[in-house]
Amino acid sequence: MNQEVRYTDGAYAVHIVDVTSGEVVKTCTVGSYQGGGRDRCAVTTAFYTGDPHQYVAYVSATEDYESDVQAQSAPVTVARAPWTVSLTSSVDVFSAGSQFELAALVNQEVRYTDGAYAVHIVDVTSGEVVKTCTVGSYQGGGRDRCAVTTAFYTGDPHQYVAYVSATEDY
């Protein structure tokens, strides 16, 4: 901002709007003074699913960001990191009926998607979903772990894969 909204007697405010969702995420009538006649209005926000979000700042009427717009910023687009998942097995070869653990490590926490996403561990050979996790075991660094202990008794080797997808996909 090139002026201080604090000196408008409450007539104007800075509104930061998530134009993707339509939500006003922050309204500042008094910003954090930055010197040189400039205020700063900032907010920490998050979204957990879907496409990128665009944010725009408006200097406009305090009660309604769409009224009496004095200035508008260029849009800023923010996207979530793409999902990645790795799958490990506690053993590669075992006797019939022996149990083994499959563990999927995900680069983000599925728990924060409000159930929209899940980790699925699938036995590709049989077509069976052996585990679905909407809340993993937190591993630090923003990573979740989804694990299952399983076994099979006869037949050829089985192939397993882990997916991150919409919860209802499996």
Q: 94-139: per-residue pLDDT in tens?
A: 787 789 999 999 988 888 887 888 999 999 999 999 999 987 666 6
Residue type, 23: E
pLDDT(160) > 80: yes
Look at 28-32, 61-65, 138-142 and tell me which has the smallest mean pLDDT: 138-142
CATH 1.20.120 is held by the domain 85-169: no
Average pLDDT, the chain: 86
Query: Which pLDDT value is given to residue 33?
Result: 54
Stretch(es) of the chain classified as CATH 2.60.40 = 85-169
How many CB atoms within 10 Å of residue 95?
8
Q: Give the C-alpha separation, 95 to 124, whole Å.
A: 20
**Inter-residue contact 99 to 31 (CB < 8 Å):** no
Q: What percent of the chain has pLDDT over 70?
A: 88
DSSP-derived 3-state class of residue 112: helix
Residue 148 has pLDDT above 90, yes or no: yes
pTM for the model: 0.67
- pLDDT exceeds cutoff 60 at 50: yes
Contact between 71 and 56 (Cβ < 8 Å) = no
The pLDDT of residue 98 is 85
Res. 37: pLDDT tops 60: no
Q: How many Cα neighbours within 13 Å face the side chain of 158? A: 24
Percent of the chain with pLDDT over 90: 49
Contact call for residues 162 and 146 (beta carbons, < 8 A): yes
59, 71 in Cβ contact below 8 A?
Answer: yes
State the pLDDT at residue 120: 94
Give me the mean pLDDT over the 71-82 stretch: 93
Is residue 72 over pLDDT 90? yes
Radius of gyration of the chain (CA): 25
